[in-house]
Chain A
Amino acid sequence: MNRIEEVLKGIRPEFDFTKSQDFISDGMLDSFDVVTLVSELDRTYGISIEGTDILPENVQSIDAIRRLLRKYGVAP
Chain B
Amino acid sequence: MTAGSVLEAFARVKSGGGGFLTNFYATPDIVDRWATRGSLRLLELEGAVLLLRRDQDFDHLSYAATDLPRLTEALRAPALAGDTLTADLIGRESDLGRVVGAFETAEFHRHTSLVRLTRMADPAFPDDYSDSQVVSGRREDGPAVQAFLARLLDRFAEQLPEVDEIEAAAERGNLLLERRGADLGGVLLFEATGQTAVLRYWFVNDRFRDQGIGARLIKTFFRTCRSSRRIVLWVIADNHDSIAKYGHYRFRPEGLVDHVMIRKGERLA
Task: Give the nearest-CB partner of B116 in chain A.
Answer: A32
B-binding segment of A1-9, A49-57, A61-69 = A49-57
B70 close to chain A: CB less than 8 A: no
Contact of B14 among A14, A28, A51, A56 (CB under 8 A): A51
B10 CB contacts on chain A under 8 angstroms: 51
B12 CB contacts on chain A under 8 angstroms: 51
A73 close to chain B: CB less than 8 A: no
Residues of A in contact, count (CB < 8 Å): 19
Contact of B195 among A27, A39, A54 (CB under 8 A): A27
Interface residues of B in 62-86 (CB under 8 A from A): 64
A15 CB contacts on chain B under 8 angstroms: 195, 229
Q: Are A35 and B25 in contact (CB under 8 A)?
A: yes
A25 close to chain B: CB less than 8 A: yes
A25 CB contacts on chain B under 8 angstroms: 193-194
* Binary contact readout A10-48 vs B (1 if CB under 8 angstroms, 0 otherwise): 000011000000001111101110110001000000001
Chain B nearest CB from A68 CB (Å) reads: 14
Interface of B is mostly: mixed
Q: Are A32 and B194 in contact (CB under 8 A)?
A: no
A26 CB contacts on chain B under 8 angstroms: 193-195
Residues of B in contact, count (CB < 8 Å): 26
A51, B15: Cα distance in complex, Å: 6
Known contacts: A15-B229, A35-B22. The answer to whether A52 contacts B11 by CB under 8 A is yes
Known contacts: A14-B230, A27-B228. The answer to whether A54 contacts B194 by CB under 8 A is no
A26, B8: Cα distance in complex, Å: 27
Chain A nearest CB from B191 CB (Å) reads: 10
Q: Are A54 and B14 in contact (CB under 8 A)?
A: yes
Interface of A is mostly: loop
B56 close to chain A: CB less than 8 A: no
B195 CB contacts on chain A under 8 angstroms: 15, 26-28
A54, B26: Cα distance in complex, Å: 12
B261 close to chain A: CB less than 8 A: no
A35, B20: Cα distance in complex, Å: 11
A24, B8: Cα distance in complex, Å: 21
Q: Are A50 and B193 in contact (CB under 8 A)?
A: no
B175 close to chain A: CB less than 8 A: no
Task: Give the nearest-CB partner of A39 in chain B.
Answer: B20
Contact of A30 among B24, B196, B229 (CB under 8 A): B196
Q: Interface on A for B, CB 8 Å cutoff?
A: 14-15, 24-28, 30-32, 34-35, 39, 48, 50-52, 54, 56
Q: Interface on B for A, CB 8 Å cutoff?
A: 8, 10-15, 20, 22, 24-27, 64, 90, 120, 192-197, 228-230, 256
Given A39-B20, A50-B14, A51-B64, 13 additional A-B pairs, CB 8 A? A14-B230, A15-B195, A15-B229, A24-B194, A25-B193, A27-B197, A28-B194, A28-B196, A35-B22, A35-B24, A51-B10, A51-B11, A51-B13
What are the 9 tightest A-B residue pairs by CB atom distance, in nearest-first order? Answer: A51-B14, A27-B194, A51-B11, A27-B196, A26-B194, A27-B193, A31-B25, A27-B195, A52-B11
